[in-house]
Chain A
Amino acid sequence: MKGNPVLGISRLGRTVVQCTSVAGFLGLWEGLVWLGLFPPYLLPAPTAVATTFVDQIGNGNIPRLLGYSLRHYALGLIWGVSLGVLLGLCMAWSRQLELVLDPIIALLRPIPPLAWIPFAIIWFGITTQAAAFLISLGAFYITLYSTYGGVKGIDWRLVDVARTLGDQSNWGIIRRIVIPAALPAILTGIRTSLGQGWMTVVAAEMFGIQGIGLKMLEAAGLLSMDVVMAYMAVIGLVYFGIDHTFRTVEDRLLRWR
């Protein structure tokens, strides 16, 4: 039987409780604003946020700004993840490279991506490249270490098996054994990067690069908190979609587990 064994309620019953809970939360919030306990510039009502959300879609702001942000996000992730996976593989494969690179990465890693903002602006200006650079940093470290750990942890006896089956070249072994064996760890790293990168997008744009982050900062300057909250909803919804899609892809790729 599905359901919570402690409370003894069915799946349907649980869904009803969950919906009621969310509705109650929104109702309470709406009520507090309606009673005048909070002025709208401190806490906008859910209905006001919903109206603004629809308006912002209608006037094209959400699609346009989301487009900018997704561009920063995608570029940063592509660079960060590719370099991270590549270097992680190389470091786990070659002891020499591991010895040379490990101390450098250990030195740079503790610096959070956002601490690089001044340099990003000096090097790239207020541009897409600057935002992508900051996003790529986080993704790079995360995928580097997850790939490195994943490769180090594979069952190396499988490499022996491959060699007895005639697979002699390093590239053959990497392609046919090391990458698929380390794929679960690599994908976990990429999924973590997706979350970290999305946070960095918002923060990076607040330094003047066109996108959702900058729009929120501008709206907050005008005390249009309903606009700020509408964009917060966009951020949450988009990330929910991204994470859900990635999990589906991950489950499909790892259905052998």
Chain B
Amino acid sequence: MRSTKLEVRELSKVFRTVEGREILALKDINLEVLDGELLCILGSSGCGKSTLLRIVAGLEQPSAGDVLINGRPLTGPGPDRGMVFQEHLLFPWRTVRQNVEYGLEVKGGPKTARAQECLSMVGLENSSEQYPKELSGGMKQRVGIARALANDPAILLMDEPFASVDAQTRSDLQAMLLTIWWGTRKTILFVTHSVEEAVYLADRVILMGSGSGHIIDTVSVDLPRPRYRVSPEFNDVRRDILKRLGFLTGE
């Protein structure tokens, strides 16, 4: 029996606009993530999925409710949770290696060997002295992943990390992520708006309703890996998820 790594209890988030209007971004979110689980949070833009991830990262404060990691309440951002962002957000003035070393530099102690190790995991061991401007979009995302891994966080938070690369690069990155996940057994929270991506990656998919800020359903994906995107079983899961999201009402 695997233990619970992360627990979200009765979480709500209200944003206040400049005019003083209140917008409910998240409503009564309850979530349990097991140790080593790859959980996808699926929803269209504006459903609050990124906000949920930012709260777990400690970058936003919830308006109500709790986030527990290993049973302890969250106090803010920390090196136990690594985050990968959609727009890579590399530090442009640092080389690839220096980007990956950032967290190790903050902690103090040796850093170069660990940085090289993480760069090998993402297949960029030969690009360590390049600057971000010299890299392609896919390579930048790889650096972003290596940078998040350097601190050896127990939980990896990924906010639509592959949304802005081309299809071929995206499937390469997805395969790479699964390899890293198998090798490190990290708990991964992966936010996406792509049903296919969720079915390809996840142990379990959390469905969030558009504009409602709450979880409408949870789907376990029991397909063996590696998964084939064109297999009938894969399509069955896709169809099931689309139906639950309310996209296939005509069938």
Contact = CB atoms under 8 A, between A and B. Distances in A.
Contact of A172 (B79, B81, B89, B106): B106
B93 A160 contact: no
Interface in B84-99: 85, 87, 89, 91-95
Contacts, number: 67
B78 interface: yes
Contacts of B64: none
A165 B103 contact: yes
A250 to B, nearest CB: 13
B133 A257 contact: yes
Given A163-B59, A257-B133, A180 B93 contact: yes
Contacts of B89: 155, 157-158, 160-161
B187 interface: no
A251 to B, nearest CB: 14
Contact of A164 (B82, B107, B132, B133): B82
Contacts of A166: 77-79, 103, 106-107, 151
Residue of A155, A163, A177, A183 with most partner-chain B CB within 10 A: A163
A161 B92 CA distance: 13
Contact of A165 (B87, B131, B151): B151
Interface of A is mostly: helix
Interface residues of A, number: 21
Given A158-B89, A257-B92, A257-B133, A164 B59 contact: yes
Residue of A167, A183, A256 with most partner-chain B CB within 10 A: A256
A168 B214 CA distance: 31
Contacts of B93: 180-181, 183, 256
Interface string B27-59: 000000000000000000000000000000111
B83 interface: yes
Interface of B: 57-59, 76-79, 81-83, 85, 87, 89, 91-95, 102-103, 105-107, 131-133, 147-148, 151, 157
6 smallest CB-CB distances across A and B, nearest first, come from A166-B79, A165-B103, A164-B83, A163-B77, A180-B93, A256-B131
5 contacts: A160-B59, A163-B59, A166-B77, A166-B103, A256-B132
